[in-house]
Amino acid sequence: MSWDRPFAQPVPLPKGPPAQTLRDAADYIRNLPQTERDRQEWRLAVQMLIDAAEDRGPMLFARMGIVRALETDSESRLHPEQQDARRQGKKPQGKLKTDRDASI
């Protein structure tokens, strides 16, 4: 098992330097609050990291798992009302404004 395997491209992290290796990504996840780590996106990212470290999965999937979990986190912080509606099985009300909408 090699946690020192490098990503083809570093994974930008919200705080601190980008993750260069599987170990860097694992350390980042390990420092997240337990409630955050328990989320489905992070559990999947952890599994992809383990698979890559054990040579059972591609490094690209490990990178994609981290990026996807980070994107989901930033979406939920930007639009918590939309996330709450989805969790309750309701259709979110209103339209999310994008940068493109602001320029029209």
Summarize pLDDT for 7-22 with one digit per residue, the tens.
999 999 998 899 999 9
Total domains in the fold of the chain: 1
Q: Is residue 76 part of a domain?
A: yes
Q: Return all residues near 1 (Cβ < 8 A) that are at least 6 apart.
A: 53, 54
Cα 22 to Cα 80: distance, rounded to the nearest angstrom: 30
Domain of residue 95 covers 6-103
The answer to whether residue 56 is domain-embedded is: yes
- Mean pLDDT along residues 74-93: 57
Over residues 45-61, the mean pLDDT reads 96
pTM, 2 dp:
0.69
Tell me if 1 is assigned to some domain. Answer: no
Q: How are beta strands 19-21 and 6-11 bridged, if at all? A: antiparallel
Q: Which tens digit of pLDDT belongs to each residue from 87-104? A: 566 655 555 555 555 555
Rg (CA), the chain: 16
Does the residue 15 lie in any domain? Answer: yes
